[in-house]
Amino acid sequence: MKLIFATNNNNKTIEIQSILGDEFELLSLKDIGFTEDIPEPYDTLEANALAKARHIYAINRCNCFADDTGLEIDALNGAPGVYSARYAGEQKRAEDNVNKVLKNLEGETNRKAQFRTVFALILNGEEFLFEGIVKGNISEKPTGEDGFGYDPIFIPEGFDLSFAEMSLGEKNKISHRARATHKLTHFLKNR
C-alpha cells in the first residue's frame, strides 16, 4: 500500500518507514514534489494533524496521514505542547527550544513529562485518529548525539538514557511516534 506522509521532516519519515517495513510504501511531501509548509493554526494536536492530512488529500486524492507531536511538561502546565516546534520562536530551532525548556525548568524538582503524537489518517476519504504517548522526565542537560528535537533532554520511564543516546531501533520500540505508528499499522493491516 502506498501512503503519503504529510511531513517535510526527513527524520520522522525515516523513523516511521523503519517501523512500517516493506508492506507500505511511504512517500514524503518531498517525494510528491510538495515543498511548502502546511500551516498548523490550531491549539490541539488532533486539529493540526487533521488540517495537514486534509490539505494533502484535497490536492492529491491519495491515502495519506499527518502527525502533530508535542512535548507536555507537568511543571510547565503542559507546555510547550502543541507549540513544541516553535516554542522558542518561528525559526523552529531545536537547540533554542531545548534551551528554553531547560531555562524554564531551572530549580524545578518535578521533571515529569510526556511526548504525545497524534496521527490523522485519511483512507479512501474516511478520517481516523491514532495517538501514541511515552512518559518520562526532562534531564538537567542535553545528552546524546542521535535523534532530533527534544530527544537530548527526554529520558523515557524505565531508562537512564535520553532518546538522543538510543539507537533508532531502541527508540522505535518505545517512542510516542512508534506507538502511534503501531496503532496505524495494525489498523491498516486489519482493515
List the catalytic residues: 68
Residue 73 burial by Cβ neighbours in a 10 Å radius (0-12, 13-18, 19+): buried
Cα 27 to chain centroid distance, Å, stands at 17
Separation of alpha carbons 125 and 46, rounded Å: 17
Decide: 69 and 116 in contact? Cβ < 8 Å: yes
Q: CA dist 83 to 30, 48, 115, 123, 155, Å?
A: 24, 11, 13, 27, 20
Decide: 105 and 138 in contact? Cβ < 8 Å: yes
79: amino acid identity, one letter: A
